[in-house]
A and B are shown apart, each in its own frame.
Chain A
Amino acid sequence: MNPGTFLVIDDSKLHHQMYHLIFSRSELTGSRLLHAYDGREGYELFMAHPELTLVFLDLNMPVMNGLEFLHRRQAEGMHPQVPVVLVTTESTAEDEARGLEAGAWGYLCKPFAPEQLLALVGRASSRLSQRIAHP
């Protein structure tokens, strides 16, 4: 697994720090982390960075939520090669299906351990474009 460029879209500052902590303590250290605090800000960054390795997208956010982000991306066909992982606190099979339909590559369910996040990144970078089981 090589360092890359990651976009974190989450309205919680705390979560950004968590991502930072996880990345800095792993083999991904040296990766570039881009931070956005709502969906719209995130989408602007997303458009500007076709080289992204992976996007972590929180589901519940102000301004533009995770699903709205995915729908817009789908409608605009923006960077389909970049995997987007939807991050939720509690999700049902239905939520998950809706997210996958809207083009999410995978799911990450809070609370997650650093290892779970890293495993997901590993699978994404090996470009296994398949649905990921609930961590």
Chain B
Amino acid sequence: MTGPEHPFAALLAEYVAECLPLAEEVVEGALALERAWQEGQSADELFGPLKGTLHTIKGNSAMMGLAGLQNLAHRLEDLWGVLAADPASRDAGAPLFVRGTGLLADLVRGTASGPPPEGAAADYLEEVEAFLASERGAREAAREERRSPDRRTSDRRNPKAGGEVGADGAVATIRVDSRRLDALLESFGEAMIAHAGLGEAMRQLNRRRGTTGELTQLERAMLGLDRTLKRLESALMETRLLPISTVFSRFTRLVRDVAHSEGKRVRLEVAGGETRLDKTVIDRLGEPLVHLITNAVTHGIEPPEERESRGKPAEAVITLRAVQRSDRVILTVTDDGRGLDPEAILRKARALGQAPAVEAPSLAEIFALAFLPGLSTAQRVSQHSGRGVGLDVVASSIRALSGNVSVGSEPGRGTTFLLRLPLTVAVLRSLLVEVDTERYALPLVDVAETVRVLPETLYQVARQGMMTWRGEVIPVMDGGLLLGGGAAESRRYCVVLRSAARHRGVMVDSLLGHHEVVVKALDPSLGRPPAVAAATILGDGRVACILDTGRLADGWVEPVAAAAP
């Protein structure tokens, strides 16, 4: 604090005269930034001057011995650094920044009549500290920040340059056009296929010639190549991962806008924004999430009066949560609205001729019907949700990412959509099976278990079977029938697929083990066979279909008599 003993105490008035206009400039700049961000502009040109001005205020305050002001300006610089580097931090960070600049201007103004009391901005500084710590935590968790956490290093960032300089002066990070990453991934896929081909050829050789010295050497070299490719894969995947907050960040505004035009009061809560997903998944996730969130506000959430009459808070909450579970990310969209009406869904499904197979379907089975095309129970068309955005659209875009979606709801209490997404899109961990000498890949995400089925545990009912699996009676379908061939009673293996409502089995001839397959999109001119999601090339050069397990499960609505041994 500047006391009378401070060498520059006599310059307090000059300090205010110089710093107050600067502080006011910072306030203006911060407000302009916040406005620009809310309108979806990057407003990068506003950044530089703001930083310089804050720096000057900090320097002047330091010279004057105004530690409180110096500290506040310093923290605002830190906050500035986070906002500049990470657009995802802006929803929460921008209002904090604006508030801080206002506080700074007030304190500078007050200095005309003496230095601000110690701890004048303590509460605010604590808040900033917490924010910076959580951002740091998120960044570290995301391992985005590879350089030294030294704060002064981050001061040297130059957002315009293509890279960042580390403490040793070497370039620590560089920016790369994402198309180059895509091309890299494509080449990696080719390498994986070539590798699988090499492995297959080697096995053939081994079978024909027996083990020779050269073959052993070849095997050893293959093992090395194998390991290198694995490392390459994870390094490549790592570069493609982005925090999911990059999509989450735009929803606060969406919720506010939709709620406003619907006359509802809704708050969006977000958790797990630091969870990372492949860039492609992130890119394609926006649209289905917009549908789900818009649907939740327009259809799920009741008007405030109705909520109050039901004893709920007038302000509704939509929660967006992401969490990583092994090789997939679970995303939930939860609202505390009126919930789905199972009777209405059932009525609609029956009208569409899509009634569930069982006599007394479980709630889960009924809710699974909500994803059928043409089944929208909304009573009116709203400006935001419109007609075109049925849940079937959401489901198919999630499935296109080799993910799946399900819904749970408690009438009157709310609805939760659960999206399971793969971490990466290019390489799919799959179970390879054989049906009538054809090979198929099934995404492991959807495989609950594989079991050997004894004939006496399988009950045939109208060409479809039922079997008992873990105490549950599940429908089982013949793989041949499913894929356009004929049924064969000789199939002994059952792949149990996860489904939103009920597990289902597919009978196959043999199981060929787990493989990492490279996903190749189907040529659009081929159309899309109902059970096939994509294709892959196996080690022997054969093309295998990757089955659309989610769609397979949903397509099963043909009548199956109630389970009866």
Contacts of A14 in B (CB 8 A): 11, 14-15, 18-19, 60, 63-64
* Stretch binding the partner chain, chosen from B51-59, B399-407, B500-508: B51-59
Q: Report chain B residues within 8 Å CB of A112.
A: 63
Q: Is B55's CB under 8 angstroms from A60's CB?
A: yes
Q: Are A12 and B56 in contact (CB under 8 A)?
A: yes
Contacts across chains A and B counted by CB atoms under 8 Å: 55
A113 contacts the other chain (Cβ, under 8 Å)?
yes
Query: Complex Cα distance A18/B59, Å?
Result: 13
Q: Which of A1-39 contact B (CB under 8 A)?
A: 11-15, 17-18, 21-22, 25
- The reply to whether B18 and A12 form a contact with Cβ atoms under 8 Å apart is yes
> Are B169 and A22 within 8 A (Cβ)?
no
In the complex, which residue of chain A has the Cβ closest to the Cβ of B70? A111
Q: How far is the CB of B154 from chain A (nearest CB, A)?
A: 11
Interface 1/0s, chain A 108-119, versus B by CB < 8 A?
Answer: 001111100000
Question: Does A110 contact B8, Cβ atoms closer than 8 Å?
Answer: no
**B11:A89 contact, CB within 8 angstroms:** no
- Chain A: interface residue count, which band? 20 to 34
Number of interface residues of B (CB under 8 A): 25
In the assembled complex, the Cα of A11 lies from the Cα of B18 at a distance in Å of 10
Whether the pair B62, A111 counts as a contact (CB closer than 8 A) is yes
Known contacts A12-B18, A14-B14, A60-B52; A110 and B7 CB within 8 A of each other? no
Which residues of A approach B to under 8 Å, CB–CB?
11-15, 17-18, 21-22, 25, 60, 89-90, 92, 94, 110-114
Could you tell me if A110 and B63 are in contact, using CB atoms closer than 8 angstroms? Answer: yes
Q: Using a CB–CB distance below 8 Å, which chain B residues touch chain A? A: 7-8, 10-11, 14-15, 17-19, 52, 55-56, 58-60, 62-65, 70, 152-153, 155-156, 169
A17 pairs with B11, CB closer than 8 A: yes
In the assembly, what is the distance between CA of A59 and CA of B515, in Å? 60
- Asked whether A90 lies within 8 Å of B155 as measured between CB atoms, the reply is yes
- List the A residue with the shortest CB-CB distance to B10: A21
A12-B18, A13-B18, A14-B18 given as contacts; is B59 within 8 A of A21 (CB)? no
Q: Are B59 and A89 in contact (CB-based, < 8 A)?
A: yes
| Chain A to chain B contacts (Cβ below 8 Å), 19 pairs | A11-B56, A12-B59, A13-B14, A14-B14, A14-B18, A14-B60, A14-B63, A14-B64, A17-B11, A17-B14, A18-B8, A21-B10, A25-B7, A60-B52, A89-B62, A90-B152, A92-B156, A110-B63, A113-B7
A22 pairs with B7, CB closer than 8 A = yes
Q: Is the CB of B7 within 8 A of A114?
A: yes
* Residues of B contacting A22 in the complex (Cβ-Cβ under 8 angstroms): 7
Q: Which residues of A contact B64 (CB under 8 A)?
A: 14
Residues of A within 8 A of B18 (CB): 12-14
Chain A CB within 10 A, most for which of B11, B59, B169: B59
